[in-house]
Amino acid sequence: MKAISIGLLGLGTVGSGVVKIIKNHQDKLMHQVGCPVEVKKILVQNLHKSRPSEVDKDLLTSNADEVLNDDEIDVIIEVMGGVHETKDYLLSALQKGKHVVTANKDLMALHGSELLTVASENGCDLFYEASVAGGIPILRGLVDGLASDRITQMMGIVNGTTNYILTKMSKDGSAYDEVLKEAQELGFAEADPTSDVEGLDAARKMTILATLGFSMHIDLDDVAVSGISNVTEEDLQYGKQLGYTMKLLGYAHREGEKVEVSVQPTFLSNNHPLASVQNEYNAVYVYGEAVGETMFYGPGAGSLPTATAVVSDLVGVIKNLRLGVNGRSAVTPQYPKRLKTNEEKYSKYFLRIHVQDEVGVFAEITSVFAKHGVSFEKILQLPVRKNETSEIVLVTHRASLTNYDAILHELNDLHAVKEIKSAYRVVRN
């Protein structure tokens, strides 16, 4: 019985996990696919680096051609990261008739459409379950489990670093910079955390989710993005008083033929299922017209959870290979891209405003909201001890983004308003 040979690009945290699972779960894989599965060659940058004991040093190479041009290799697994060089490697592999499994969210968010087209043209599979939410089978859930439904909304905590930071800030009352440093020391945050804390990592994942969930080609530039670096412990404490928990939330909503996709710090009502997702865990909440509400929850990163998703994709490729149906699973987007305008985007909003502590100020602020047809759901008014300043914390009823932006602009122009300290979207269950 011929073994399926794997070429592995990258041997970092996830790559080591892939090797470990293939080696230790060989009996399970044999049962699933009916033949042995072996790693034949592994591309690494440094041949002399210390490696885990389960990695055979004879499999290592620093020459990509030894992997991509080996006719005996059936499947390329890419876990090396990067975009431009990696894209060239995968295009080369697909054009040579090799199937590809990748965990590369950056690559798939930017060039997924091109790679999937090349895969289809060459009768190859290109699977990328591990590119979103690590070990959670969300992409397979959308493509297979919910294939017959019409998805109208997806909300996700898809970045473990920011969820860990916000959880610790909320529980301990700690400052952002303090928690970020702790997250870096524990390995939850990179030395350069920009991609995570500014929402870019989550935006790439939401691009992939929205494209699949809405069957519409969504580009990274279509996602409105803001991060958590300006969130303060005071914001979180006020949120608690009002019954909210803050998350960096990926949000994708379809209404009729139009969609919106965003990533931003958001206050969720405490009874929302996503509000209880803590620390480095990920979760994606999906609403379908037929199935109603579903939620996918689990570890969003880590060696073995992510490697599990990679090897599960590998099993899918091999099953297709044995059935002779590779390259037929990719479905091109069904609908042309139509994005909502700001007038069509509605939400509730949290605002924290510092104002002059004098008579008539609140009435002046209220008139700005009333002018744009926006009313209040909750209000807190508190004194600030210094500079004769009051603090107003309020939550609006639903307002269009157009009206909300106009309100912020007019509030900033009011003499009585010293500063808009913070402004966030609010989602209730």
Active-site amino acid positions: 205
Query: What's the maximum distance between 2 C-alpha atoms anywhere in the chain?
Result: 86
The answer to whether residues 254 and 286 touch, using CB atoms and an 8 Å cutoff, is no
The answer to whether residues 207 and 200 touch, using CB atoms and an 8 Å cutoff, is no
> Do the strands 4-9 and 223-225 form a parallel or antiparallel pair, or are they unpaired?
unpaired
83, two tokens: 């975009």
Give the three-state DSSP class for 93: helix
Helices (H), 69-124: 84-95, 105-121
E-state strands within 289-427: 292-299, 346-356, 376-384, 389-396, 399-400, 417-427
The enclosing H or E element of 74 equals none
| φ, ψ dihedrals at 214, nearest 5° | -100, 0
Q: What residues have CB less than 8 Å from 69, skipping those under 6 apart? A: 96
Place of tokens 């090396």: 80
Question: Torsion over CA of 261, 264, 270 and 275, rounded to 10 degrees?
Answer: 80
The answer to whether residues 235 and 246 touch, using CB atoms and an 8 Å cutoff, is yes
- C-alpha dist (Å) from residue 318 to 23, 40, 95, 145: 16, 16, 18, 20
CA 16, 20, 21, 22 torsion-angle sign: positive
Give the three-state DSSP class for 134: coil
- C-alpha dist (Å) from residue 243 to 143, 236, 272, 428: 35, 10, 11, 10
b/e per residue 385-413 (b: at least 16 CB within 10 A): eeeeebbbbbbbeebbbebbebbbebbee
Integer Cα distance of 87 and 91 in angstroms: 6
